[in-house]
């Protein structure tokens, strides 16, 4: 089994810069995996992914110096089991609002007697189809469980969620959080809530993470203490870069483009 260097790095508080993979295409993952990011989120919540497309992206990223992070649509036990069996070892579980939900996620990624993950690894890619003979005994050491807080309810329970044994990091979802507040991300209320959330996570001794497409905000949150920060998505980078390129040749200079907010 390879060491999960991402899990080790955020555990030490080292900065890890990531990007969202939202196309669902393995070729795109293969390209992005060679560009220097520390972690990449294969997005099954809002991206056009299924179990097979996620596995194909895991396969092309295998051996590259980047950690694939898989986000399922929800934190259902059966989804978590399938993702772990196809070789995902870092999971980002969306919409975790309570201590009980966080604890259930922990149980879902651990084998008995410490959890209730199903015993099927001998035929799964996770154990390299049974060739890693001690996979069941050692899997927990390399599985990294990240939970996503993105509602006011989650913020109210944040300290308890962050202190849950087995949670390796807490990720703040700014888009859904701002929607729950009924205010834009850049509003004082939302930014203040995010700042306080980062403080709470760090005080609990856990790594804090976030994603925005705004470099000023990303650097603000990094300075605050967020250590695993995603700074964009493949689809937005492709769209804005190609639009700027076409504008430059059609108009002689780059035309202004709308700022993508997240």
If one counts every other C-beta atom within 10 angstroms of the C-beta of residue 139, the result is 20
Residue 221 backbone phi and psi in degrees, to 5:
-70, -35
Catalytic hit among 31, 34, 46, 189: 46
pLDDT reading at 252 higher than 80: no
pLDDT at 2: 86
Q: What angle in degrees, to the nearest 10, is found between the helix axes of 188-203 and 215-224?
A: 40
Query: Is position 161 within any domain?
Result: yes
Residue 223 falls in which region: left (phi positive, over 0), alpha (psi -120 to 50) or beta: alpha
Domain that holds residue 116: 5-234
Q: Span 208-234, mean pLDDT?
A: 98
Residue 186 bears catalytic tag: no
Check residue 1 and give its pLDDT.
80
User: What is the tens place of the pLDDT at every residue in 116-159?
Assistant: 999 998 999 999 999 999 999 999 999 999 999 999 999 999 99
What is the domain-level CATH number for residue 53?
Answer: 3.20.20.60
Is 248 inside any structural domain?
no
Residue 259 falls inside a structural domain = no
What's the whole-model pTM score? 0.94
Query: pLDDT-based confidence at 251, cuts 50/70/90?
Result: confident
Arithmetic mean of pLDDT, 225-243? 97
Q: Is residue 243 part of a domain?
A: no
Q: How many domains does the chain have?
A: 1
In-domain check, residue 46: yes
């Amino acid at each position: 089994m390879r060491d999960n260097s991402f899990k080790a790095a955020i555990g030490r508080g080292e900065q890890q810069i990531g990007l969202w993979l939202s196309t669902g295409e393995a070729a795109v993952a293969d390209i992005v995996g060679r560009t220097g990011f520390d972690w990449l989120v294969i997005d099954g919540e809002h991206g056009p992914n299924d179990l097979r497309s996620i596995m194909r992206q895991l396969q092309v990223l295998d051996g590259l110096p980047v950690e694939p992070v898989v986000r399922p649509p929800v934190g259902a036990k059966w989804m978590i089991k399938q993702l772990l069996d196809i070789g995902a070892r870092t999971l980002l579980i969306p919409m975790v609002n309570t201590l009980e939900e966080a604890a259930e996620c922990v149980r879902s990624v651990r084998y008995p007697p410490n959890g209730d993950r199903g015993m099927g690894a001998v035929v799964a890619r996770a154990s390299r189809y049974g060739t890693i003979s001690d996979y069941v005994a050692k899997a927990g050491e390399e599985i990294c469980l990240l939970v996503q807080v993105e509602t006011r309810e989650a913020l109210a329970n944040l300290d308890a969620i962050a202190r849950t044994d087995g949670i390796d990091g807490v990720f703040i979802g700014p888009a859904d959080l701002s929607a729950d507040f009924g205010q834009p991300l850049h509003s004082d209320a939302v930014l203040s809530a995010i700042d306080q959330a980062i403080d709470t996570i760090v005080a609990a001794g856990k790594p804090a993470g976030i994603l925005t497409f705004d470099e000023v905000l990303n650097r603000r949150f990094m300075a605050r203490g967020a250590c695993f920060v995603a700074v964009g998505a493949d689809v937005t980078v492709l769209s804005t870069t190609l639009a700027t390129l076409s504008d430059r040749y059609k108009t002689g200079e780059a035309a202004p483009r709308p700022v993508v907010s997240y």
